[in-house]
Amino acid sequence: MRVLQLCHKPPCPPVDGGSKAMHNLTTGLLKAGHEVVVRCISTPKHPMRTGEIPEAYRRSTDVRAVFVDTSLNIVDAFTDLITADNYNLSRFFSPDMDIELIRTLSGSRFDIILLESLFMTPYIATVRRYTQAPIVLRSHNLEHVVQERIAQGERNPLKRPYRRFLAKQLRDHELAVLERIDGVAAISSSDLAHFRAQHAELPMCTIPFGVDIEAYPLQPWPDGAPTCFHLGSMDWLPNEDGIRWLLDEVWPRAIAERPGLRLELAGNQMPQDLLEAEIPGVRIRGRVPDARQFMEEGQIMVVPLLSAGGMRVKIVEGMALGKAVLSTTIGAEGIEAEDGRQMILADGPEAFAKALVRTHDDPAGTRAIGEAARQLIAERYDDRRIVADLIAFFEQLMGK
């Protein structure tokens, strides 16, 4: 099978959750004996790092990137507000990328066109003109849900109406897109249920983020109290909002009860005021040179997300490493884990703080949750199983 994978940012090197989700699927398809051609957008936020891409990956995928300036522009945003276009999506459209797609589609035959995220849907019209191959949307998030939740938590009364307007635009666009594609590969069962409620006749499947469990060895736990940690890009608003909530409303409650609690925070684009903050029991860093090593050194992954959607890639990786994950219900969406068995769920400042205290007081029980989490990932989120399900879905669309 020959697949054209269209990505809204470079999937390689896999530097964040979104790129890992795309990269793992690419490599999984290649390992299964299929051909994958990658075309992606390079942006100021997510540039193409050509020198860091392995030669084997370049040869096997013929990866090419087109630079698109997706930087926020107040004039363009206002224009889209008037014309009812969605600025979140329209800034990903580029005539140069359109030309690259025309060249690619004109020069080769593909069995499936895979759109990675809603941000690549502005190119559907071009794809339709140059190929008869089925188009599949791989939905990483329900983007309108993310915007709705951000709007609910928006403290600036001037920004809140605009965010709500963007959320409605995204919801309307998602519904319209379902009429123009041939299938949906949702990242989670809850997202799949949403799409089915909107378009029951459209072929759909659930393709979660998967890992090669053998690449994630179980990490030993130290004697004594475990260390909490969080790793996430802070230029994604839900991450920043969640961390500020954790530090302002949760951590003071927890550290007052257990002064021995320790929290390590790291991530790209860490705000300067957080880097300079002095908070008891907390060490805050920016980008770390080795994300895997950072995760391996901690024991309890905290996920204080208040607005998100889809599935958190780093949670799956943390669980694969045997970490105990303490998350809000929203943060854990898309992962079929049982509270108290393979994950710890807590909502609200008081409940989250009490959960932190329990993990400190019961290291053996917390470790057992991490071990059960790893077993869950091995059973349900293995790359080979996920790729096999996706290929079966592709073959269904192709009429095989």
Express each pLDDT in 270-301 by its tens digit: 999 999 999 999 999 999 999 889 999 999 99
Q: CA torsion sign, 119 to 124 to 398 to 39?
A: negative
Asked if the model's pLDDT at residue 133 lies above 90, the reply is yes
| Local structure of 301: helix, strand or coil | strand
Q: Tell me: the pLDDT tens digits for 38-59?
A: 999 999 988 999 999 999 999 9
Beta strand extents in the chain (DSSP E only)? 2-7, 35-42, 64-67, 112-116, 135-139, 183-186, 204-206, 228-231, 263-266, 282-284, 300-303, 324-327, 344-345
Output 76 or 390, whichever has higher pLDDT. Answer: 390
Identify the CATH class of 214-380. alpha beta
- Longest CA–CA span in the chain (Å) reads 65
DSSP category for residue 12: S
Q: What is the pLDDT of residue 192?
A: 87
Q: What is the pLDDT of residue 359?
A: 95
Asked if the model's pLDDT at residue 366 lies above 90, the reply is yes
CA separation for the pair 383, 387 (Å, rounded): 6
Asked if the model's pLDDT at residue 236 lies above 70, the reply is yes
Query: What percentage of the chain carries pLDDT values higher than 90?
Result: 62
- pTM, whole model, 2 decimals? 0.79
Helix 17-31 / helix 383-398 crossing angle, nearest 10 deg = 70
Q: Tell me: the pLDDT tens digits for 308-337?
A: 655 688 899 999 999 999 999 999 988 989
In CATH terms, are 2-210+382-398 and 214-380 the same topology? yes
CA angle 342, 283, 326 (to 5 degrees): 15
Asked if the model's pLDDT at residue 144 lies above 80, the reply is no
Query: What percentage of the chain carries pLDDT values higher than 70?
Result: 88
Model confidence at 85, pLDDT cuts 50, 70, 90, reads very low
Mean pLDDT score of the chain: 88
Model confidence at 80, pLDDT cuts 50, 70, 90, reads very low
Output 201 or 159, whichever has higher pLDDT. Answer: 201
Q: What is the pLDDT of residue 82?
A: 38
β-pair type (35-42, 135-139): unpaired
How confident is the model over 367-395, as a mean pLDDT?
A: 94
User: In which residue are the tokens 């939740």 written?
Assistant: 149
Whether 187 contacts 326, CB under 8 Å: no
| Local structure of 264: helix, strand or coil | strand
Output 382 or 173, whichever has higher pLDDT. Answer: 382
Query: In CATH, which superfamily holds the domain spanning 2-210+382-398?
Result: Glycogen Phosphorylase B; (3.40.50.2000)
CA separation for the pair 226, 317 (Å, rounded): 18
Asked if the model's pLDDT at residue 126 lies above 60, the reply is yes
CA separation for the pair 389, 396 (Å, rounded): 11
User: In which residue are the tokens 């590969």 written?
Assistant: 185
Domain boundaries along the sequence of the chain: 2-210+382-398, 214-380
Model confidence at 132, pLDDT cuts 50, 70, 90, reads very high
